[in-house]
Amino acid sequence: MAKLNLNRVPMTRQDPKVRGKNFDEVALGYNEEQVKAEASRCIQCPKHPCTTGCPVDVDIHDFIKAINEDNFAEAVTIIKNKNSLPGICGRVCPQETQCEAHCALANKDAPIAIGRLERYVADWERQNNPSTTPATDKPKPTGKRVAVVGSGPAGLTAAADLAKMGHDVTLFEALHVAGGVLMYGIPEFRLPKEIVQTEVDYVSSQGVKLELDAVIGKIDTVDELLNSGFDAVFLGTGAGLPMFLDIPGENLNGIYSANEFLTRVNLMKAYLFPEYDTPVSVGKNVAVIGGGNVAMDSARCALRLGADNVYIVYRRSEVEMPARREEVENAMEEGIIFKFLTNPKRFIGNDQNWVTGMECYEMELGEPDDSGRRRPIAKEGSEFTIDVDVVIVALGTTPNPLIAATTEGLDTTSRGTVVADENTGRTVKPGVWAGGDIVTGSATVISAMGAGKRAAADIHAYLSEL
Amino acid sequence: MYQILLREDLVPGIHLFKVAAPKVASKAQAGQFVVIRIDEKGERIPLTIADWDRAEGSVTIVFMEVGTTTHRLALLKAGDAINDFIGPLGLPTHIDKFGTVVCVAGGFAVATIMPIARSMRQKGNKVISIMGARNKDLIFWEDELRSVSDQLIVTTDDGSYGRKGLVTEPLKELLEGDEEINRVIAIGPSVMMKYSALTTEPFGVDTIVSLNPIMVDGTGMCGCCRVSVGGETKFACVDGPDFDGHQVDWDLLFARQRSYLDEEKCSFDQWQSQMDSK
Ligand SMILES: Cc1cc2nc3c(=O)[nH]c(=O)nc-3n(C[C@H](O)[C@H](O)[C@H](O)COP(=O)(O)OP(=O)(O)OC[C@H]3O[C@@H](n4cnc5c(N)ncnc54)[C@H](O)[C@@H]3O)c2cc1C
Ligand SMILES: Cc1cc2nc3c(=O)[nH]c(=O)nc-3n(C[C@H](O)[C@H](O)[C@H](O)COP(=O)(O)OP(=O)(O)OC[C@H]3O[C@@H](n4cnc5c(N)ncnc54)[C@H](O)[C@@H]3O)c2cc1C
Ligand code: SF4
Ligand code: SF4
Ligand code: FES
């Protein structure tokens, strides 16, 4: 066997000093030479453990083999067989804990950069095959109608798969743009909206009817959909309800939920204000509370909008942070200031009701809690104040109660998530499936996609027997 | 796209649009609102549903020109279209047989209180309406509101029409009078709602106000619209917009409404200079 090549090909990124001032994509992607070099490191393990780390079982070794054979079209086909959104997953999957963690070279600290290869293949397709018309012949219509509610990764995947099986699919989306968190949450510099739009267009090209501005639960309830000719309903409405800290001063001006801040910036394009009419305040000193991807994205947006100092305030330590490693590193390089073991106690405002400061506790870590992470405990008497003029609360989200409240007979948990079978997405309500963040709480793009895929397969089986 | 079927200029600066939106029309109820976005670069703003026609598939909105979006909206004509028209959002006003209900409307809210007064009357309530405007030139829909009320009182700040003074004065007289008042609905500028609630408080009469904080999505997803009611934080777009006026933290509402004064001015100035150069 040839000697192992442990030199993972680095990805070119925009210089931190430059990128901190623009919303262009940070990671620039491999060029053809780099992609070949990286792909050639794959040793084509017979058992290819990499695939077991991928929630949708992408045949990683096969698509890498196709790259090595210069057959990019084939690589596209292999990936799309399992993953219909490779341009997105290649960019935002937490590969370091998924496919790449299982790569045979991971224990040598040099796993194949599977995500980067996947991204390259997807981008190659977009550039060389810009038409989104399906290559396959139109499927034979089954005459069955399916309503898919929510156009995030779960809904997009379910809708596309069901349409390909010949069902008549309508995709309902509450916002004026399809894509869910991919559009309103994850910023342009990490996931260009053009890529998401291409995927949405692809789903439409499969015959899916897209109804924007349609808040299910208000315009029609799930039961009304079922009674008005839809044979099945898939719920992919995500986890869109922001959590707040519930501490004094939280309603001061200048305190945003991450959802609001990111929606203003990404969906409403507040970074182009006043050309785009939706404003956002950034101020000089911004504190982002939380340690996940949402916190990193908020902090890096605030920096790009011109804040002088951006803090990430996290109550545990660096190792417990749930955000993707790569994004934490990017944030650090860009100059985000991390305040670990710090937790806000209350917010202080001026006579204009605008936030001016945040009183915080220093924290220490105690015994592990339910999540297996060590529980943060406030140190008595450790309070100190940080000057801030904008605060972004990024504590996480739970499902919006609207669907559950307006649908008879759905089973929900105490966290507001909808109960559905993990393998099929079936809920206890006949004719209704659910998947993605609405079932799991905030998770990942690829797990939402996987849930959409499994539900589509089960819905198809159900419809075939009707 | 949602086509404007009809435009009416009610008084200077206040306009009515009837918009083709069959699905919204089929579900609309008194007290609910829509979120609109004129075009790709526009802001999402909430506007109350002033009326609907399920057969025609239309929804009526009445808006006042205040900043960029409402001024831009005022330039549209029948036949033009609005990009997004999302609704019906928010909880409908609680309509029940209460007895005697006083509906108080300030400014453009005469339009928004219409369906509420109508529904209250249909439920068998005695409806007394009070409408107030700054002056005679800003009075509209007097006859319409009278047609759904048992009694109508009109006030103007300067006395150029109807009674001189604020809406709170006849409201107070009604509360002090012999007739039992069972419920008050006050809709209009925030200050007017605050003082209406303060007026009714000593009399212990339930008073419902329709809060108008800044909103983005209108579906409970951002928390921009949070208000404090009875010491609890609520999202006005999904928990309201109607709330118990005696429990509302008005100062917080006023302060939060002013969050973007500078930006609103900047946006308006830029829009005006664009218009001037055209
Ligand atoms: C800022 C941010 C950064 C993230 N970064 C990453 C990352 O790097 N990697 C990763 O893997 N994951 C990341 N995630 C998580 C990931 O985006 C989500 O897990 C994923 O999008 C969930 O997909 P979904 O389809 O279940 O729901 P969503 O993407 O939330 O989509 C749900 C859609 O349903 C719509 N909807 C809701 N209610 C209704 C209704 N009543 N009627 C009609 N439509 C409705 C919503 O408007 C939305 O468009 C991030 C999340 C956020 C917020
Ligand atoms: C539930 C609800 C129902 C409403 N119904 C009506 C109605 O029927 N007719 C009507 O004329 N007005 C109504 N309003 C107020 C209307 O939304 C604002 O006048 C409008 O948003 C102003 O936008 P602008 O761009 O013209 O002005 P701007 O210059 O942006 O703002 C002027 C004022 O409007 C408020 N405002 C700005 N943006 C928003 C926003 N996104 N959401 C809410 N308020 C905002 C600000 O606090 C400011 O005081 C309602 C508001 C709410 C919340
Ligand atoms: S979909 Fe995600 S986890 Fe699966 S191979 Fe691609 S990058 Fe890895
Ligand atoms: S485990 Fe790593 S080296 Fe082995 S086939 Fe998969 S990607 Fe290639
Ligand atoms: S407007 Fe976003 S939650 Fe109410």
Residue whose C-alpha is closest to residue A451's, from A130, A91, A156, A36 = A156
Q: Two tokens at A232?
A: 């099945």
pLDDT(A76) > 70: yes
* Maximum separation of any 2 CA atoms in chain B, in Å: 60
Count CA atoms closer than 13 A to B188's CA, side-chain side: 24
Q: Which one of A220, A241, A274 has the shortest CB-CB distance to B267?
A: A274
Q: How high is the pLDDT of residue A130?
A: 52
pLDDT digits (tens, 9 = 90+) for A312-323: 999 999 999 999
CA distances from A127 to A24, A84, A141 (A): 18, 17, 31
Which ligand is located closest to the Cα atom of residue A83?
Answer: 3
Pocket of ligand 4 (CB under 6 A): A 42-45, 48-50, 60-61, 64, 103-105, 112, 114
pLDDT(A466) > 70: yes
Q: How high is the pLDDT of residue A133?
A: 45
The string of DSSP letters for B18-87 reads EEE-HHHHHH--TT-EEEEE-STTPPPEEEEEEEEETTTTEEEEEEE--SHHHHHHTT--TT-EESEEEE
Q: Two tokens at A28?
A: 């620039």
pLDDT(A362) > 80: yes
Cα gap A133→A92, rounded to integer Å: 25
Rounded to the nearest 10 degrees, the angle between the axes of helix B250-257 and helix B190-200 is 180
CB < 8 Å from B in window 27-86 of A: none
Mean pLDDT in residue range A436-453 = 95
Chain A residues with beta carbon closer than 8 angstroms to that of B226 = 251
pLDDT digits (tens, 9 = 90+) for B244-265: 999 999 999 999 999 998 899 9
Per-residue tens of pLDDT for chain B, all 278 residues: 999 999 999 999 999 999 999 999 999 999 999 999 999 999 999 999 999 999 999 999 999 999 999 999 999 999 999 999 999 999 999 999 999 999 999 988 999 999 999 999 999 999 999 999 999 999 999 999 999 999 999 999 999 999 999 999 999 999 999 999 999 999 999 999 999 999 999 999 999 999 999 999 999 999 999 999 999 999 999 999 999 999 999 999 999 999 998 899 988 998 888 888 87
Chain B residues with beta carbon closer than 8 angstroms to that of A214 = 23
Rounded to the nearest 10 degrees, the angle between the axes of helix A445-465 and helix A153-164 is 30
Query: Which of B225, B229, B253 to mutate for ligand 5's pocket (most ligand atoms within 8 Å of CB)?
Result: B225
Cα gap B115→B54, rounded to integer Å: 14
Per the CB < 8 A criterion, the answer to whether B111 and B85 are in contact is no
Helix (H) or strand (E) holding A337: strand A337-339
Cα gap B109→B14, rounded to integer Å: 10
Cα gap B66→A271, rounded to integer Å: 23
The string of DSSP letters for A68-88 reads HTT-HHHHHHHHHHH-S-HHH
Cβ within 8 Å, pair A353-B251: yes
Per the CB < 8 A criterion, the answer to whether A233 and A418 are in contact is no
Residue whose C-alpha is closest to residue A337's, from A296, A390, A294, A378 = A296
CA A42, A44, A49: angle at the middle one, nearest 5?
95
Query: Which of B219, B234, B257 to mutate for ligand 5's pocket (most ligand atoms within 8 Å of CB)?
Result: B219
Cα gap B88→B103, rounded to integer Å: 22
Q: How high is the pLDDT of residue A6?
A: 87
Cα gap A332→A140, rounded to integer Å: 53
CB < 8 Å from B in window 252-311 of A: 253-254, 256-257, 259-260, 263-264, 268-269, 273-279, 281
Helix (H) or strand (E) holding A343: strand A342-349
Query: Which pLDDT band, with edges at 50, 70 and 90, does A128 fall under?
Result: confident
Cβ within 8 Å, pair A244-B41: no
Tell whether omega for the bond before B241 is within 30 degrees of 0, i.e. cis. yes
Place of tokens 């159900």: A462
β-pair type (B242-244, B232-235) = unpaired
List the strands of the sheet with A209-211, edge to edge.
Answer: A209-211, A168-172, A145-149, A232-235, A432-434
Chain B residues with beta carbon closer than 8 angstroms to that of A275 = 41
Cα gap B92→B123, rounded to integer Å: 15
Q: How high is the pLDDT of residue B213?
A: 97
Query: How far is residue B125 CA from its own chain's centroid?
Result: 21
Q: How high is the pLDDT of residue A138?
A: 79
Q: Is ipTM beyond 0.90?
A: yes
Handedness of CA B29, B31, B32, B38 (dihedral sign): positive
pLDDT(A380) > 80: yes
Q: Two tokens at B161?
A: 């029409």
Cβ within 8 Å, pair B256-A251: yes
Residue ranges of domains in chain B = 2-89, 100-257
Q: How high is the pLDDT of residue A136?
A: 59
CA B226, A435, A159: angle at the middle one, nearest 5?
105
Chain A residues with beta carbon closer than 8 angstroms to that of B21 = none
Mean pLDDT in residue range A208-218 = 97
Q: How far is A401 from chain B (nearest CA, A)?
A: 9
Cα gap A232→A242, rounded to integer Å: 29
Bridge partners, A201 (sequence order): none
Q: How many CB atoms lie within 10 A of CB B16?
A: 19
Q: Which one of A215, A241, A242 has the shortest CB-CB distance to B89?
A: A215
Query: Which pLDDT band, with edges at 50, 70 and 90, does A135 fall under?
Result: low
Cα gap B245→B30, rounded to integer Å: 18
Per the CB < 8 A criterion, the answer to whether A464 and A449 are in contact is no
**Can B2-89 and B100-257 be said to share one CATH topology?**
no
Per the CB < 8 A criterion, the answer to whether A219 and A316 are in contact is no
Q: Two tokens at A115?
A: 């995500």
Collapsed DSSP state (helix, strand, coil) of residue A278: coil
β-pair type (A337-339, A309-313) = parallel
Task: For chain A, give percent helix, strand, coil, nearest 5.
Answer: 35, 20, 45
CA A353, A356, A357: angle at the middle one, nearest 5?
125
Query: Which pLDDT band, with edges at 50, 70 and 90, does A132 fall under?
Result: very low
Cα gap B35→B43, rounded to integer Å: 10
Q: How high is the pLDDT of residue B278?
A: 77
Collapsed DSSP state (helix, strand, coil) of residue A301: helix
Query: Which pLDDT band, with edges at 50, 70 and 90, does A137 fall under?
Result: low
Per the CB < 8 A criterion, the answer to whether A315 and A341 are in contact is yes
- A228 touching chain B per CB within 8 A: no
The CATH-assigned architecture of domain B100-257 is 3-Layer(aba) Sandwich (3.40)
Tell whether omega for the bond before A274 is within 30 degrees of 0, i.e. cis. yes
Instruction: Measure A28 CA to ligand 4 centroid, in angstroms.
Output: 24
Nearest CA to ligand 2 atom 5: B47
pLDDT digits (tens, 9 = 90+) for B196-239: 999 999 999 999 999 999 999 999 999 999 999 999 999 999 99
Chain A residues with beta carbon closer than 8 angstroms to that of B85 = 213
Residue whose C-alpha is closest to residue A427's, from A444, A411, A451 = A411
CATH no. for B2-89: 2.40.30.10
